[in-house]
A and B are shown apart, each in its own frame.
Chain A
Amino acid sequence: MSGPVSGPVSGEVPEPDEVTEPWWEATRRRVLLVQRCGACGHAQHPPRALCTACGSARDLGWTEASGAAEVDACTVVERAMPGFTPPYVVARVRLAEGVLLLSNVVADDPYQVGGGDPLRLDWRPLPDGRALPVFVPSER
């Protein structure tokens, strides 16, 4: 599916810190970054000040995600949360690059979203110009 992304409307997202700023800045260009360790090649999310695989803090960089992903695990939230309109899908999404992100899957029927479903990247704009990466079902 395509078209405008609908779904939960959250409140403010906290300001980035010195480690996460490049990741959030890239969302202004609708680019999803994955942090990668130049020393050992490990990819990780969320971004950290060191590599959790080798411990190196010296050679951390970024790669651009292709946007291809699949559902690792998901749940349809039905209880009202402040600022959100149920039902909506919260999912662990595994990027083609290997890392897991928590996100929303925006689907016509949230109850049809299941483990292993192929996804593609979409964006939900934030008021300050940043954007949240979200996902929509795609054909494999």
Chain B
Amino acid sequence: MSGGVVRGGVVRGGVVRGGVVRGGVVRGGVVRGGVVSGGVVSGGATGAATRPTSTGVAIVGAAESDLGVTGRSILGLQAQAIGRAIEDAGLTLADIDGLATTGVSRFSATQVADYLGLRPSWTDSTFAGGSAFEMYVARAAQAIEAGQCGTVVISYASNQRSARSRSLAGVVETHTPEAQFETPYGPLYPISYYAMAAQQYLHRYGGSREALAEVAVAAREWALLNPAAFRHGAGPLTAADVLAAPMASTPLTTADCCLVTDGGGAVVLTSLDRARDLPKPPVRVLGYGECTTNTSMTAVDDLTVTGAVESGRAAFARAGLTPGDVDVAEVYDSFTITVVLTLEALGFCGRGETLDWIAGGRIRPGGDFPLDTSGGGLSYCHPGQYGVLLLVEAVRQLRGECGARQVPGAEIALAHGTGGILSTHATVLLGVDR
């Protein structure tokens, strides 16, 4: 902890700006004297999120299903992840009365409830690509605080690699405007959209593909430390390797793109009061925020500025934290460019500065900004909607369970999900219980 600590107290008058608290209320939150880069927490936050109000909810269980190439069914992997997470929490299936999941069927949460033999009093199947799980944390925290349910499981699983169910064209429903106005031109979905964002970013700011490749290179370094990672035994990756990989959609090669694997995960949330009676140390939900921006490839005017600006601003304001307070960041890395756009949108560095900011090993193991410490979607696991595994890794880091890849003394973690074609953005801030 650095100077200027306000903990569990009330600071009247304001917005957190440059580590100074002005004009508002900080309640039950932690304000640390961190640096605000990019002016993210500087007033004007959207909706009700201007008032820091850390939740009274904690994550008490976290687990992965089998990962990689499993030969298992979606529901088999779901049951595995949920069972392991509940066991990790020291709970039983009978304790679960809330369920949030997606990617199973049209009735995803209903389907999983049936499969588990549950009759939950709260469910959510919001479909928002890889960011859905960070959104579920917000909704689950609200449902628990409102008393609609007591203990929620958020889960996901996919067998897309075993089932060979992934298509370069993606899934475009014929009744949508995209089917009439975009699909006829043959974009890879979602790759070509991220590729255009990368082209615009590199063109505007003068960045190189080598500099962009650092995201994939660093992810591999982390994966080499994670025995569960798909690329754990693959050896180091160099920027030259990334550039030499087969081109998918310029400027992105297949090594700029996330893995296609089976896998899944689950986290268990309950009230902080109950969490303190369970075996594992609670991981508090300190803040959350989200922003939904587009389904079409032409709706967002500037490809280099994403809805993570709004989701991050809301999450930091709610938590009473600043980007400088984050000890470990799990940021959705569907593509190398996704991370670049997200980091500056969240305020870790200024607009157009990410490639310079991440150069020199900062995001690699041992660097001063530990990022995607599991190895990420690029080198650990990407089962289609990866967001739940960002939460699993963040929880493990805050519990100190990460072995060789553990970030020493991590107290504040950020998990940021991105779904679709930079369509949905959701930020969650988690912290140790102090």
Binding site for B on A (CB under 8 A): 8, 10, 13-14, 16-17, 20, 24, 45-46, 48, 72-84, 88, 90-92, 99-104, 111, 114-115, 132, 134
Contacts and interface: CB of A to CB of B under 8 A. Distances in A.
Contacts of B246: 78-79
Interface string B146-180: 00000000000000000000001100001101011
Contacts of B181: 45-46, 101-102
Nearest to A20: B180
A103 B182 CA distance: 7
Contact of A79 (B183, B185, B188, B251): B188
Contacts of A92: 196, 297-298, 303
Contacts of A104: 185-186
For chain B, give the interface size range: 35 or more
B254 to A, nearest CB: 8
A45 B200 contact: no
A46 B196 contact: no
A84 B250 contact: no
A78 to B, nearest CB: 4
Contacts, number: 109
B197 interface: yes
Contacts of A78: 246-250
A79 B177 contact: no
Interface of B: 168-169, 174-175, 177, 179-188, 191-192, 195-197, 199-200, 203-204, 246-252, 296-298, 301, 303
Contacts of A99: 298
Given A77-B192, A78-B247, A78-B249, A90 B186 contact: yes
Nearest to B203: A115
A78 B197 CA distance: 17
Contacts of B186: 8, 10, 77, 81, 83-84, 88, 90, 104
Given A14-B179, A73-B197, A81 B169 contact: yes
A33 B264 CA distance: 46
B208 to A, nearest CB: 15
B249 to A, nearest CB: 5
Contacts of B251: 75
Given A46-B181, A90-B186, A104-B186, A76 B250 contact: yes
Contacts of A90: 185-187, 192, 196, 249
A132 B185 contact: yes
A101 B247 CA distance: 24
A123 to B, nearest CB: 12
B199 A73 contact: yes
Contacts of A132: 184-185
Given A73-B200, A92-B297, A100-B298, A10 B183 contact: yes
B249 A77 contact: yes
B180 A91 contact: no
Nearest to A84: B186
B189 to A, nearest CB: 9
Nearest to A91: B196
A10 B250 contact: no
A16 B140 CA distance: 40
Contact of B298 (A45, A75, A88): A45
Contacts of B175: 14, 17
A46 B203 contact: no
Contacts of B249: 75-79, 90
B45 to A, nearest CB: 24
B180 A14 contact: yes
B296 A46 contact: yes
Contacts of B179: 14
